[in-house]
Amino acid sequence: MCKVLKWLILFMGVVFIVACSDSREEKTPIGIMQKVKRVDNKNESLFKEVTSLAKLEFFKMDAIVNKKILMVYFYSDNCYYCEKMKKQTFTDFRVQEELAENYSAIRINYSKYKKIFKLKFPLRATPAIFIFDKEGNEIKDESFYGYQGAEDFYHKLELLAEPF
């Protein structure tokens, strides 16, 4: 009896695994896992990592050519609010869509590359976000320090992207 039960459980496990790998991506556990990974990868691909002033200038020129707003996001290792923005604000679907459509977004690890960027960006704290318009000029009034929730951040991005 015990052997039969083990075989039955093993058989059911195989059937379950096979059932989970069918083409109905949204309704299966495997599909859900793939969807979560896509969101995480999308979040990571929205931000290009910058480690030098030359790369910063390259992405600034790229944003100008593509007629996009440049958003420079400074974060630090072991920064609570940087991690909170990464997990809550930047994973918000509307924020991701707005960034993908109208922005060129880059991120800079200020704790790692402070020596390189401190003359151009003498930060008081992280997270810090600097916004450059479609011509490459910094919009000083729109740059800010500190955590911003997904709702407020989305509305700020949406407002900045509207044509004047």
Asked if the structure places residue 39 within a domain, the reply is no
pLDDT score at 45? 67
**Beta carbons of 110 and 126 less than 8 angstroms apart:** yes
Question: For residue 50, with 0-12 CB atoms within 10 Å meaning exposed, 13-18 middle and 19 or more buried, which class applies?
Answer: buried
Asked if the structure places residue 3 within a domain, the reply is no
pLDDT score at 50? 92
The domain that contains 147 carries what CATH number? 3.40.30.10
Per-residue pLDDT of the chain in tens (164 residues, 90 and over written 9): 444 444 444 444 443 333 333 344 444 344 433 333 334 444 456 889 999 999 999 999 999 999 999 999 999 998 999 999 999 999 999 999 999 999 999 999 998 988 999 888 888 889 999 999 999 999 888 888 999 999 999 999 998 888 75
**Cα separation, 75 vs 147, whole angstroms:** 11
Domain tally, the chain: 1
**Cα separation, 22 vs 107, whole angstroms:** 38
Asked if the structure places residue 63 within a domain, the reply is yes
pLDDT score at 46? 81
For residue 25, give the DSSP letter: G
Domain containing 118: what range?
A: 47-161
What is the 3 state secondary structure string of 136-151?
CCECHHHCEECCCCHH
Is the full-model pTM beyond 0.75? no
Question: Within 13 Å, how many C-alpha atoms sit on residue 99's CB side?
Answer: 26
Asked if the structure places residue 106 within a domain, the reply is yes
pLDDT score at 3? 46
pLDDT score at 9? 41
